[in-house]
Every structure is written in structure tokens, then in C-alpha cells.
Amino acid sequence: MLIRHGGDLTENDVTPHEVWLRRREFLALGAAGVGLGLAGPASAIALKGAPSRYSTTEPKTSKADVTGYNNFYEFGVDKDDPARNAGSLKTSPWTVKVDGECARPGTVDLADFLRGNTLQDRIYRHRCVEGWSMVIPWLGVPLADLLKRYQPTSKAKYVAFETLHRPSEMPGQNRRVLEWPYREGLRIDEAMNPLTIMAVGLYGESLLNQNGAPMRLVVPWKYGFKGIKSIVRISFTESQPRTAWNQSAPHEYGFYSNVNPQVDHPRWSQATERRIGEFRRRPTLMFNGYGEQVASLYRGMDLKKFY
Amino acid sequence: MTRRTVDGIVLWAVSLACLLPLLWLVWRGYQGELGANPIETVIRNLGVWGLRLLIVGLTITPLARILKRPRLIRVRRPIGLIAFSYIVLHLSTYIGVDQYFDWASIWKDILKRPFITIGVAAFLLLIPMAATSFNAAIRWLGSQRWRGLHRLIYLIVPMGVVHYYLLVKADHRPPLIYGGIVAVLLGWRAVAALKRR
């Protein structure tokens, strides 16, 4: 389904005024989520977000499937490995290093990184490059709001992200299935697009480890692997950063990796997808149905070349 | 017990063992335990077991020779036929459930995706083997020609391994392990053939 509310949104549409007035409560909730979400699945804490017009009204994928069917190779390559193995990851304390082409680089505690931002509900379609999809009710903060504080300079053309590298708690990192740490990247305008969020929760609770606790990227018009999990470093760069899957198989996974039914993956068609919980395949939408918000970012680009 | 009875018991036991993975899959389906993406689980499971059983089939001849138990050869046929059945189910699930008989899309897959091309080719090569897996066929074809036809398996199993290797995203260890086992089994035959000369 296409989102009906498009590019004519203002700040007020994103965060209702009454919610904005209560932002410190949400902040407290967010900070609590960070502080309490330390011991894995059992201790997921309740979070509340402000509704967003970017959310889809499509039926949500069940929580059991969202938290039980994951690609997170740091915890094993099978879909049920992350749910089984991710409990070993300690997400508190958690610090984030922000560096590169910005005026105010620094290393901050997660609570400080998120401080002052209102959590939003974002119910997004999620399309995996493997041909399956979900609808996930994320809770998060627009990435732009988080990044602006570090005052990226005019040289900041890209944003690079890194996942934690801690093989003692991420057993999958003991084998070089991919080059660790996992890396991802966005062009700065993609990072600043209002659809791009840093998610800290889903289904009204702080993220479980298998979903990328304590915080992960969500870029709904790109294939799921762009949504890097358990982020510890964010760098503003002048040149296009390396990304994990592109390093692993450059002909299969491009830097952009926008959902595009016309550009097939060499090993499988991207024309259709299976929504988890449904029987029949359904057609895949250009930019995963978010073209209205993001198509302009790629105007004039040959998306077959920049796949 | 007569030799015949023992042979019969062994054949039934082996066949039943080969069917256990299928029964397990059906049971998990019945219990609703096939995970978030049951169609993928079923296709993957059937394919992997088809390949495993083909590989088990390849171990029988060397085993029979090494253990000097020529009658062991008799279990090769049920293993092969059951492996073929897994692969028929694997392919039918892809065609009828995953693709829902979207022939245009299936045809495109066969032409464009090397792993599907090679998988379908391997399946086509299996058909004449399965179709001649009964005693009368050996008489009709003559044992030389029948053996020649059934040497196709030396091509088919490596194709199955390549099919698996090509579809794996990053962790190539499992298909490489299968590949290694197949290399040993075919290598043993090559050495045995050279010795006979």
C-alpha cells in the first residue's frame, strides 16, 4: 500500500504539540530503556512513542516472527540463531563514538546520545534482500535529529556506521563469514531524510538483542541489511564508506541497495516478495513503496548501475 | 533367519530411516513449528535431505567393497529412490507453493539464476535413473548400458552441491563440507578404476 501523506509534511505533523510538550517524559522513558535493557530478552522495558504519519496502516507482522526470524550474523547464520544466541550480549554500558568530518566529535554514553529527543512510532515495511518482508512497529528517533548535534561539515558527504565487535559476546564473529565489524553507510542526504530513524525499540518495548539492541538503523526504502544493528560508531566521511555485504560480494550488494523490483539480485528475482505470515508472493514496490519521500534523492541516477 | 529375511529387514529398516526426516518435517508442520517462513523451511529441508541421501547412496559401493559385503549394494536402490522423492517434493514445493505455478517467473528463474539452472538440470538427469531403478530395466538395457546410464550420478551429485553452494549467501562451510565428502567418494572410485586397469 502506498503512504498517502507525502512530502508536504511539517515538523508539527511528525510530533504532535501535546507530545512535544511531554518530551521529557519520553526522554526519561528512553533513557530508562537504555539503562534497564541490559540483561537481554527478559528485561525488555516498555516504551511509548508519538504517532507518525510515516507509519503504514498495513497489518503488522507478529511479534514472535519479528523477534524470532532474524538475520544477525554476529550470532549465527540461521534465522533462529540470533534469538537463541543473542542473550550473551551486554548492552549496558554502551558508548557511541561520533567522529570524522564534524565540528563536535565525541564519545558519549547512549543515554546522552539520545537525550532530548522524542521517541516516535514508525510502522514500516521491511524488505529483506532474500525476498521476504515484514511490517514492523519500530520506536525510534529521526537520525537527522541525532546527527545534527555533531555539526557535520561541508566535507561530510557520507555517514558510516559500525556494529560492536566483541567476539566473546557475539559468537558469530569468531568465524569470518563477513569482515567484522559489520559496516554500513548512507549518503548524507539519505541519512538526513525524515524516514531514516535510529530505532531503540519495537512493539512498545526496548529492542531485544536479536533485533539490534540497544540501537539500530532503519532505512525502510532499502534492503534490510542496510539497517545496521548494535551501533557503536558513526563517522562523517568525504568518500563513500565500505559496507560489509558490498565487501563480501560487490556484484550482488551495492552501496545503495534500494528496494527495486526491476533490478534483480544475481541469484534471485526482486520482482516479488513473501510477506511473513502470508501464503502468496506479492509484487515488490519501487523503493519499498516509499518513492514519494525518497525518489527525488536519486533523480538522474541510473539505478541499474548504482544498485 | 534366512539370508532373504535378513536382507528384507535391512531394506525396510534403511528405507524407513531415509523417510524419518520427511516424517519429522510433516510432524513439525502439523505442530506449527516450521518457523516464520514455513515455505522456505520446507524447501530448504527437502533439498538438503535429498542431497544428503544422494551422498549416502554414493557411500554404499565403497562400503560394500571395503567391508567385503557385496549384498549391501541392495540398499543403494531404495536410498536413491527415496532421495529422488525428496528432490521431487523439493522442486514441486518451489513450483506449486513458492511460485504458485507462475510459469513465466519460474522460466525466468531457470534461465537467469545459475543455481536454479543447475538444480533443474540435475533433476532432469535424475529422471532416467529413477525410471530405470527396477530389475527388469537392467535386463532390458543390458547391464553395461544400465551401468553407463547410472554413472550419471557422478555428475548429478556434484551439480547438487554446486546448486547448494550458489544459493548460500555468506557461510559456505556446509556446502563445502558436502563437496569434500563427495570428492572423497568419487576419488575412491577413480582410484579403484585405475587399479583395475
Average pLDDT over residues A275-282: 95
Identify which of B35, B100, B171 has the shortest CB distance to residue A280. Answer: B100
Tell me whether residues B36 and A68 touch, CB distance under 8 A: yes
* Chain B residues touching A173 at Cβ < 8 A: none
Tell me whether residues B109 and A280 touch, CB distance under 8 A: no
- How far apart are alpha carbons B107 and B109 in whole angstroms? 5
Q: Are A218 and A122 in contact (CB under 8 A)?
A: yes
Between the alpha carbon of residue A97 and those of residues A9, A94, A150, A166, B113, the distances in Å are 32, 10, 11, 16, 42
Per-residue pLDDT band for B89 (boundaries 50, 70, 90) equals very high
Residue A38 has pLDDT above 50, yes or no: no
Nearest Cα of chain A lies from the Cα of B118 at a distance, in angstroms, of: 12
The string of pLDDT tens digits covering residues B150-178 is 999 999 999 999 999 999 988 999 999 99
The string of pLDDT tens digits covering residues B13-37 is 999 999 999 999 999 999 999 999 9
Per-residue pLDDT band for A266 (boundaries 50, 70, 90) equals confident
Per-residue pLDDT band for B197 (boundaries 50, 70, 90) equals confident
Tell me whether residues B170 and A64 touch, CB distance under 8 A: no
Best of A281, A282, A284 to mutate (most B CBs within 10 Å, chain B):
A281
* Chain A residues touching B166 at Cβ < 8 A: 267
Q: The dihedral of CA B160, A223, A202, A235: what is its sign?
A: positive
Tell me whether residues B100 and A276 touch, CB distance under 8 A: no
* Chain A residues touching B99 at Cβ < 8 A: 281
- How far apart are alpha carbons B176 and B161 in whole angstroms? 8
- How far apart are alpha carbons A241 and B173 in whole angstroms? 28
**Interchain CB contact of A73 with B (< 8 Å):** yes
Comparing A33 with A215, which gets the higher pLDDT? A215
- What's the pLDDT at A26? 46
Write out residues 16-45 of B within 8 Å (CB-CB) of A. 35-37, 39-40
- What's the pLDDT at A177? 93
CATH for A11-297 is: 3.90.420.10
* Chain B residues touching A74 at Cβ < 8 A: none
Total domain count, chain B: 1
Q: Which domain holds residue B96?
A: 3-196
Look up the ipTM and state it.
0.89
Comparing B113 with A5, which gets the higher pLDDT? B113
* Chain B residues touching A65 at Cβ < 8 A: 36
Average pLDDT over residues B48-76: 96
Identify which of B36, B105, B171 has the shortest CB distance to residue A276. Answer: B36
The nearest alpha carbon in chain A to B165 belongs to A267
* Chain A residues touching B40 at Cβ < 8 A: 132, 274
Residue A93 has pLDDT above 90, yes or no: yes
**Interchain CB contact of B92 with A (< 8 Å):** no
- What's the pLDDT at A41? 46
What is the overall mean pLDDT for chain B? 95
Among the residues of chain A, which ranges form H helices? Answer: 11-14, 17-21, 23-36, 63-68, 81-85, 110-114, 143-148, 188-192, 244-248, 291-294
Average pLDDT over residues A167-189: 96
Average pLDDT over residues B131-146: 95
Domain spans of chain A?
11-297
Write out residues 148-177 of B within 8 Å (CB-CB) of A. 166-167, 169-171
Average pLDDT over residues A204-225: 97
- What's the pLDDT at A43? 67
- How far apart are alpha carbons A258 and A221 in whole angstroms? 6
**Interchain CB contact of A253 with B (< 8 Å):** no
**Interchain CB contact of B193 with A (< 8 Å):** no
- How far apart are alpha carbons A115 and A110 in whole angstroms? 8
Residue A168 has pLDDT above 60, yes or no: yes
Identify which of B35, B102, B113 has the shortest CB distance to residue A268. Answer: B113
The string of pLDDT tens digits covering residues A98-131 is 999 999 999 999 999 999 999 999 999 999 999 9
**Interchain CB contact of B136 with A (< 8 Å):** no
Residue B49 has pLDDT above 50, yes or no: yes
